[in-house]
Amino acid sequence: MNSSRHPASWWTEFLTATERFDGASVTEGLSDEINPKITSRLLRREAEIAADVMVRHLNRPVSDELRERAGRAVDRLEATVKRLSERAAEEEDLVEVYALLEVLRGRYAEGAAAAEAFVGTMPLLRVFVEGMRLERFDTGLAMRLIRAGQTPAVAVRSGLAVGKYGWWPDWLLGVVTERAIAGTLDDATITALDQCAYADLTPWQARIARRLLSGDDELIEATAQRLESQGEVAEAGKLRDGDLTAAAAVRRRPR
């Protein structure tokens, strides 16, 4: 069996991306992915019962009765797995249940890292992204970035940026995507792009701004000289120093 492709620390980046992480949603989603992989029908049924009562507890955390029932169900499943592991020739046969136990104990990152080898990456990603409960979030972009090799932290930040600024023109959203894939989408870039969006650029000015944002040295120098000729020496200096917010200056036509 192949080992997982991402360590628990990689999955943890999703947990720390938002304060609204929904443990009940993630527990249910991961359980739905893991349980069908358990080959023993009786063990799978016990796992399903434990997962069901744990999800109900997480959805109603104030219920002492549900908390106690969930704890007993998970303890019972863990005891069953321990007995079976002592008899089994290879514990590999129980790897799916061990992964589920991590999830039911609230160790979502560890559970995902263990389950990735037999569930696959994308199904788990969908569960984690949904569990973040982020508003105005571009899920498609985030998933695309992760498939391209970006870290969850970069993917989440980019998805939030595009979700928040979905009203930006297509050319700016294209810049966001390019920068995100390259791993260079930072707060300074987002600020610069936002200023360009508010600048109400013509198609010609937008093309120039995009070239400036891409670091076209010849155009940067020509634009800086034009700004200096207009008396905007400070803006010219910013542009030469790599201050992306100066790209919005293309909204001013040459005199």
pLDDT tens, residue by residue, 38-94: 998 989 999 999 999 999 999 999 999 999 999 999 999 999 998 888 775 545 568
The string of DSSP letters for 133-196 reads --SS--HHHHHHHHHTT--HHHHHHHHHHHHHTTTS-HHHHHHHHHHHHHT---HHHHHHHHHH
Number of structural domains (the chain) is: 2
Q: Mark whether 100 and 197 lie in a shared domain.
A: no
171, 206 contact by CB (below 8 A): yes
Q: Mark whether 178 and 94 lie in a shared domain.
A: no
Q: Within a domain: residue 207? A: yes
Q: Mark whether 154 and 112 lie in a shared domain.
A: no
Q: Mark whether 222 and 128 lie in a shared domain.
A: no
Q: Which of 76, 111, 133 is the last residue of a domain?
A: 133
| pLDDT at residue 236 greater than cutoff 90 | no
Q: What is the dihedral of CA 14, 126, 148, 15, to 10 degrees?
A: 0
The reported pLDDT for the residue numbered 254 is 45
Q: Which of 133, 152, 173 is the last residue of a domain?
A: 133
Q: Mark whether 51 and 101 lie in a shared domain.
A: yes
Q: Mark whether 94 and 152 lie in a shared domain.
A: no
Please, what sign has the CA dihedral across residues 154, 155, 158, 160? negative
Q: What does the angle CA 173 – CA 179 – CA 182 come to, to the nearest 5 degrees?
A: 145
What range defines the domain where residue 209 resides? 143-251
Q: Within a domain: residue 21? A: yes
Q: Mark whether 129 and 28 lie in a shared domain.
A: yes
Q: Mark whether 128 and 147 lie in a shared domain.
A: no
Residue 216 banded pLDDT, cuts 50, 70, 90: confident
Q: Mark whether 216 and 129 lie in a shared domain.
A: no
Q: Within a domain: residue 138? A: no
* d(C-alpha 232, C-alpha 72), whole Å: 71
Distances in whole angstroms, Cα of residue 247 to Cα of each of 15, 24, 143, 219, 239 = 35, 45, 29, 11, 7
pLDDT tens, residue by residue, 94-132: 899 999 999 999 999 999 999 999 999 989 999 998 998
The reported pLDDT for the residue numbered 95 is 92
Q: Mark whether 21 and 99 lie in a shared domain.
A: yes
Q: Mark whether 81 and 171 lie in a shared domain.
A: no
Token pair in block for residue 21? 């992480």
Q: Within a domain: residue 2? A: no
Q: Within a domain: residue 18? A: yes
Q: Which of 99, 133, 167 is the last residue of a domain?
A: 133
Q: What does the angle CA 8 – CA 53 – CA 104 come to, to the nearest 5 degrees?
A: 15
Residue burial 185-195, b: 16+ Cβ < 10 Å; e: rest: beeebbebbbb
Residue with tokens 């290879």: 90
Q: Mark whether 38 and 125 lie in a shared domain.
A: yes
Q: Within a domain: residue 1? A: no
- DSSP for residue 84: H
